[in-house]
Amino acid sequence: MVKRAVKFALVAAAAAGMLVSSVGFAGADGPATMDIVYGPIVTLPPSPGGGYAGEAAAQAKCPAGEVLTGGGAEVKAGNAYVQRYNLAASRPLGNETWWAYATNSDPTSPGTLQAFAVCAKVTNVNVVQTP
């Protein structure tokens, strides 16, 4: 089972490498340089009660001169009731920022939320038409 997962991971990494190099990313270290930028860890407060959830937003921003090519977010539960901590939204916000929003229905324990952005300096973009 582990060997199969490793094979799929290597295939996915190779495919990603082909995709990156065909788009024309460039950086100080040469072609195909990308940065993963982690935003600050934000506290996801406990539910204040009354049917309301605690809520928090987080973001990660690309360095100057780079554009957003993707991103994501991670919510960490404050206790064993992981189903009470939910990532409600994770999306790009403009060309440089990844934004995330989460809720916490646990009345006693806070959690955390962290967004990350995948950024690159783009030298050119090839437009490909599919049949």
**Tens digits of residue pLDDT in 2-32:** 333 333 332 333 333 333 433 444 444 455 5
- Predicted local distance difference test score (pLDDT) of residue 128: 81
120 or 32, higher pLDDT? 120
Q: What is the pTM of this model?
A: 0.71
Instruction: Tell me the DSSP string of 59-89.
Output: EEEPPTT-EEEEEEEEEE-SSS-GGGEEEEE
Q: Does 11 or 101 have the greater pLDDT score?
A: 101
Q: What is the pLDDT of residues 32-83, one digit of tens each?
A: 578 999 999 999 999 999 999 999 999 999 999 899 999 999 999 999 899 9
Q: What does the alpha-carbon distance between residue 96 and residue 40 come to, in Å, rounded to a whole number?
A: 16
